[in-house]
Amino acid sequence: MATELKRIDANRLLVPKGYLTGMRTDGMIFVDEVLQRDLEKGSIEQVANVATLPGIVGNSMAMPDVHQGYGFPIGGVAAFDLNEGVISPGGVGYDINCGVRLIRSNLTKPDVMPKMRELVESLYTSIPSGVGSKGRIRLGERDREHILLKGARWAVEQGYGERADLEHCESGGCMDGADPSGISAKAYERGKAQQGTLGSGNHFVEVQYVDEIFDEAAAGVLGVFPNQITVMIHTGSRGFGHQVCTDFLEVMGRAVEKYGITLPDRELACAPFSSSESRAYFAAMKASANYAWANRQCLTHWTREIFYSLFRMTPREAGMTLVYDVAHNIAKVEEHRVNGVDRKLVVHRKGCTRAFPPNHPELPVRYRPIGQPVLIPGDMGRASYVLLGTHKAMNETFGSTCHGAGRLLSRHQAIRQAKGRAIWREMEDKNVLVRAAGRETLAEEMPEAYKNVSNVVDVVHNAGISKKVARLRPLGVIKG
């Protein structure tokens, strides 16, 4: 390695173009000196590897929750020219459109505490979770195509939620251009029984309360107030999206040879964005993203039903409206200004959140004066955050920011460290009720397995690529 890392300022670390032979641009990691101590060498190398890909525009970037992933780092952002650049499944990830949504309510912490245990049990019983879990929805031949074309719109049409929900989803809960014909029989088989399921790993439904407000005016626009009960839902496209990624990694592996693309890591398998292979992947990725939006929409509907029944409230009384829904693992064609020129680029966000600024045309009208809501879940023992996108993010990170706390320990390391411990009891000692499908899930997801989300959020806030609005503390958590 010819060149060393260089600290640009308190929140940015430069991976210079000479760090790795073949880099076409610099790498930039948003990390302060505290989080840099836990920065994996593999993550830095992956940022540099991405910078070698054809047609990359701007820096190869990583957010403060970065950790090593498949090909691209988790927490990575990279944009590519539509003519000279590529698209890479490793830049989206296996769980296509893994994302998070936040539901606000009119309830307060004192309203729910007397029934918190019953609430957690009801959510756990009613929302299928765990590895290979099967949902309450059975997709027929016609439904399975409609869900891939319509996303959350399909769910609302089936009675799972309200049309107003769609206005507060990224992309309206649906990406146009999906093509069900490009989906393998194996992906359909894996996905047909998993619609309306939480899944496993770091996916969750969490009942929270608003612990602190940092921006009262913005919180007012979002409908967020102190001591308010909120619900955060984190899941994605389940086995369906995983299989789509698996299928197209094989396709892209062959495309690398076909188009003579030289890679420092075969996990970066890609194809020119203008190629038939990329068009097929992009259409299948959109279908997977739509599957995920429908999934989160169905879980939202059942969550609301549980609240209405348990607290004997009408929908109007409960006020459980969707604040926003954001994707974490996705590629999108967007327009960005680069060196004073507006250009259309395919932006890969893997473990990253859009952070679009005020007045952006893709935002709901209500949020245009303040910017896009950014939802950052933490671990089940600490906190989550609501932030807003900024103009600085649009100028420096293609409108992107972090997506969570970021893993500190691998799942195997976490399981070893948790041996002999009762994680659920440790959570109860912190006044957080937890239900999970298996003991290992709780071990994998224990708080020590993650970076402190407050440190991560402080970096993006201090760097100006998103700004803090509110902090949410967990009360009850459903894990897969």
The catalytic residues are 403
Query: Residue 462: what are its φ and ψ, rounded to 5°?
Result: -70, -30
CA atoms of 213 and 224, how far apart (whole Å) = 9
Determine what percent of the chain falls in helix, strand and coil, rounding each to the nearest 5. Answer: 40, 25, 35
| Sign of the torsion angle spanned by Cα atoms 434, 436, 439, 445 | negative
**Rounded to an integer, what distance in angstroms lies between the CA atom of residue 301 and that of residue 297?**
6
What is the C-alpha to C-alpha distance for residues 240 and 98, in angstroms, rounded to an integer?
Answer: 12
Nearest to 395 by CA among 355, 435, 424, 455: 355
Chain centroid to CA 441: 19
Cα 321 off chain centre by? 20
Q: How far is CA 344 from CA 26, 59, 80, 178, in A?
A: 21, 16, 9, 19
Place of tokens 């959109």: 286
Distance CA 239, CA 350 (A): 18
Dist. CA 218–CA 225, nearest whole Å: 10
Task: Please answer whether residues 472 and 382 qualify as being in contact, where contact means their C-beta atoms are separated by less than 8 angstroms.
Answer: no
